[in-house]
Amino acid sequence: MHAGPDETLALRLRSSALDDLPQGVIRLGLDGRMRYLNRSAAALAGPGAVLGARLLDLPFDTTSVQRLRAELGRRHETQRGSEYPLTLMRPDLGAGVRVFLKVSAVPDYDAEGRLAGSVGFIDDQTMERANLGIHEAIGAAGDCDRLLAALADRLGEVMQFDALMVSLISADRAAVRLLYSQPGWRPVTSWGWWPMPEMVRADLDTLTATRVDGIAELFAREPYAGIAADDAATREFLAQGWRQMLRRPVMRGDALAAIVTLLRHDERPFGPRDVEHAAHLPIGEAVGMALALDHQRALEFELELIGRMAQAAASLTEVACVLVDGLRCSRGWDHVSLFRVDHDEGQLVLVQQSTLPDAALPEGYRQPIASGVLGEVARSGRALRVADVRSSTLYMRGVAGTVSEMGLPVPGQPVRWIVNLESTQNNAFAAEEQRSIERMLGIAGLILDRTWALEFNTAMLEAVADAVIQTSARGEIQAVNPACEALLGMDREQLQGQRLAALISAPGNEPDPPGYAERLVAMPRLLSSEVELLTPDGRHLPVLLSGASLPAQIGGKVYVASDLRFRREAQRMDALRHVYAQLANEIRVPLSLASTFLRGHGSDPAHAADAVDKALRQLVRADLSLERVLRLAATPEDGELPLRVLSLEQLAMHLGEDLPQSHQALVRVAVDGGTPPVWAAPPELAFCASSLLAFLLRMRAQRDLILVRVDAGGREPQLCLDLVDAEGHPSPTRLAPRSDEEREFALAETVVRSLMRRMRGRLLLQQREGLSLRLQLCSALGA
């Protein structure tokens, strides 16, 4: 049919022809009463939609009532169509449930062409709007709880429920975690996993699609009736008075990752409309994004906890307290503790614990490594979870009421720290919790080891007998150890701020060279030098002073002063011992001869004079002058050592024999023969080589080995100690600048270089292809 611009278009339809349309059709009279509704419109409008009733009497919200009244008036006045949204409240579907409609309406005319009312075409926008709202919440999500709260609000608009819960299922299906609930069902911690309730476990294999259950009917049959009688968690759930339940599974791949549960207190069951909404709305996408945000939140918590540990790194006790308190408060466990593994004593020592007052372990608690769950962790280096300690042969009774336990080693070899978790619930620890804590302990272990090293260094500075002095770059004293205070007879407060140069004098009684102390302090590296320190009472203390600049990020310098007074007295005593031993040896022979002459011939007067003369000559040989005694006592301190011809290959073959068996397995010796002999002092060279080998054993990475070899390729033979991997290739481990290893090496470097210099040799350090420490000596060929 065609109609021109001024012609009236008239349509005649049978009402039954519109009933099968998915779109709602409604006809209103001029009085606003409903003259006709097709089947879809009646379903959307609800039980209040009857012919003859006023459209405005339906339960629209306030805004929709005002909009509908205005649109009807405008349509009657202008006789033009319009499109607008309406929101219909549906109390028959549950409190708060709304139906969102989009109405397209046109004027309606009678057979004579007079205005008779309106015809409206209604589209149900409820699902589309809910979909859009949930996707908008996913797109704007920055927090797990807010995202799930937005999901609950959108679901609450299209279906009625009294509670919503999102429960996570562990990968091994042994534990469950309440990620979100609205309203809060019971107080739970953010990341706490709990043993899987039997009523949940019973449905894990069959819950593959949205499922509706009446609580009374469900627990009237087995196995649920038996579970309700035997399982405490199930009885707690039933005590809440729930009557209807809808569960929607959330899958991750082929595995069940979470369950979204809707609950009602009234007897009205969830219907097909609710099932359809739960199945087609993007609930799985929202929960999946919530899981990602929850994982991000867990990572942020771990970083925040590690940050707080780093801030407390000046005290091992504080670091341990932050760790155990953070773990316990975030997950709600009954007892969290940190143990130190004392391999020397074969014991596990309690460092810190976080617990309820009546469940605390006694102060100073220890247990042997040879037994218990923690002992197994210490010996194996692997985490261990015990679901029920009452049936475990490993468990050693400690915390009262413990039912399940998990011990986790802090990464390191050998194991030095263990985190222990205990709970009064059966099977309380999930694999997800283990992975999360292990991820965090990888960094926390570094902080623990670093703090332990700092406290060890502090204790060492407090206990060391040598004076240690820290200065600024300009030479002003900033800190000293107790040995320095005792040596100089001055308090730390008196020394701080003084210039170190003002306390230094050249050795001996001669006047100091001009600027001697200032030049000494200005040197970036001071090798061991004999100087004198001035005390307030005018004494000159002979010391061996060495110093070095600290790394740039620390700044300043550090000096070590060794008191030479006791050493000199010991050297004098040792020299006198050698002198008197030699004197005794030289005197013993003449005296013995004189005694023999006198006993043999003294009784014969004819030979008496001759015997006495011979005895006197022997006694003269034993008479040593004072000058000779002084010559014997004088020994050079920095002269060349007595050298002998030595085989470097023989030294290499026997270098590791005194090591423990465990360390001998880390040392490989490779000698080819034919290396020329060298000049060396055997005891001192063996000392230098053993010191470098011990240093490499301490600083090596876990899989590194030490290769001992002899290099005769150059003009001067070398004994080489290289770090290699298991295949013999150079190891990537390096002696990093300003590292703890570099500082440790610097302490021994001066002594080794001094001894090598006195043997006409050198100490070389190379790191181009791999870390290699080399002792270079002079060849003895042609000597």
Q: What is the CATH number of the domain that holds 120?
A: 3.30.450.20
**Is it the case that residue 646 has pLDDT exceeding 80?**
yes
Instruction: Determine the pLDDT at residue 628.
Output: 40
Q: List the CATH number of the domain containing 663.
A: 3.30.565.10
Instruction: Report the 10 Å Cβ neighbour count for 555.
Output: 11
Using a pLDDT cut of 90, give the percent of the chain over it: 17
Residues 629 and 664 both lie in one domain: no
Instruction: State phi, psi for 688 to the nearest 5 degrees.
Output: -60, -45
Instruction: Determine the pLDDT at residue 774.
Output: 93
Proportion of the chain in helix, strand, coil states, percent, rounded to 5: 40, 25, 35
Q: CA-CA-CA-CA torsion for 139, 141, 144, 147, nearest 10 degrees?
A: -70
Tell me which range, 92-96, 190-194, 244-248, 753-757, is most confidently predicted by mean pLDDT.
244-248
Residue with tokens 């908008």: 136
Q: Is residue 752 part of a domain?
A: yes
Is there a cis peptide before residue 414, judged by omega within 30 degrees of 0? yes
Q: Is residue 174 part of a domain?
A: yes
Tokens of 646: 């030595």
**Is it the case that residue 148 has pLDDT exceeding 70?**
yes
Residues 668 and 772 both lie in one domain: yes
Give the H or E element holding residue 562: strand 557-563
**Is it the case that residue 273 has pLDDT exceeding 80?**
yes
Q: Is residue 675 part of a domain?
A: yes
Instruction: Determine the pLDDT at residue 599.
Output: 59
Residues 550 and 438 both lie in one domain: no
Residues 163 and 65 both lie in one domain: no
- Mean pLDDT over 764-777 rounds to 91
Burial category of 392 from C-beta neighbours within 10 Å (exposed 0-12, middle 13-18, buried 19 and up): middle
Tokens of 742: 């570099």
**Is it the case that residue 705 has pLDDT exceeding 90?**
yes
Residues 678 and 568 both lie in one domain: no
Q: Is residue 143 part of a domain?
A: yes
Q: Is residue 683 part of a domain?
A: yes
pLDDT in tens, 377-432: 999 989 898 888 888 888 888 888 888 888 999 888 888 899 999 888 877 787 88
Cβ–Cβ under 8 Å, residues 167 and 195: no
Residues 272 and 385 both lie in one domain: no
- List helix spans (H) across 602-625: 605-621
Confidence of residue 329 (pLDDT cuts 50, 70, 90): confident
Spatial CA neighbour of 122 closest among 194, 24, 44, 188: 24
Cα–Cα distance for residue pair 438/444, rounded to 1 Å: 10
CA quadruple 37, 38, 41, 45: dihedral sign: positive
Residues 117 and 229 both lie in one domain: no
Which domain range does residue 503 map to?
464-635
How many Cα atoms are found within 13 Å in the side-chain-facing hemisphere of 147? 25
The domain boundary, picked from 124, 141, 158, lies at 124
The domain boundary, picked from 417, 433, 461, lies at 461
Cβ–Cβ under 8 Å, residues 672 and 702: no
Q: Is the pTM of this model over 0.75?
A: no
Q: List the CATH number of the domain containing 192.
A: 3.30.450.40
Instruction: Determine the pLDDT at residue 3.
Output: 47
Residues 533 and 631 both lie in one domain: yes
Instruction: Determine the pLDDT at residue 722.
Output: 94
Provide the angle, in degrees to the nearest 10, between the axes of the packed helices 283-311 and 126-139: 20
Tokens of 68: 């509908």
Q: Is residue 261 part of a domain?
A: yes
Cα–Cα distance for residue pair 65/757, rounded to 1 Å: 102
Residue with tokens 């012919």: 51
Instruction: Provide the residue type at 48 as one letter.
Output: G
- Mean pLDDT over 351-358 rounds to 86
User: For all residues of the chain together, what is the average pLDDT?
Assistant: 83
Dihedral-angle region of residue 728 (phi above 0 means left; psi in -120 to 50 means alpha; beta otherwise): left
Instruction: Determine the pLDDT at residue 731.
Output: 92
Q: Count up the domains in the chain and report the number.
A: 5
- Mean pLDDT over 531-544 rounds to 88
**Which region among 68-77, 155-164, 416-425, 653-662 has the lowest average model confidence (pLDDT)?**
653-662
Q: Is residue 338 part of a domain?
A: no
Residues 486 and 543 both lie in one domain: yes
- Mean pLDDT over 474-489 rounds to 88
Instruction: Determine the pLDDT at residue 633.
Output: 44
3-state class (DSSP) for residue 630: helix
Instruction: Determine the pLDDT at residue 610.
Output: 62
Residues 256 and 395 both lie in one domain: no
Residues 83 and 145 both lie in one domain: no
**Is it the case that residue 248 has pLDDT exceeding 90?**
yes
Confidence of residue 327 (pLDDT cuts 50, 70, 90): confident
Residues 454 and 482 both lie in one domain: no
pLDDT in tens, 50-82: 888 888 889 999 998 999 999 988 988 888 989
Instruction: Determine the pLDDT at residue 387.
Output: 83
**Is it the case that residue 629 has pLDDT exceeding 50?**
no
Tokens of 79: 């006789």
Q: Between these two residues, 496 and 580, which has the higher pLDDT value?
A: 496
- Mean pLDDT over 611-625 rounds to 53
pLDDT in tens, 21-56: 888 889 898 888 998 888 888 888 888 888 888 888
Distance of CA 727 to the CA centre of its chain: 30
Instruction: Determine the pLDDT at residue 782.
Output: 63
Instruction: Determine the pLDDT at residue 350.
Output: 92
- Mean pLDDT over 293-304 rounds to 85
Cα–Cα distance for residue pair 627/637, rounded to 1 Å: 20
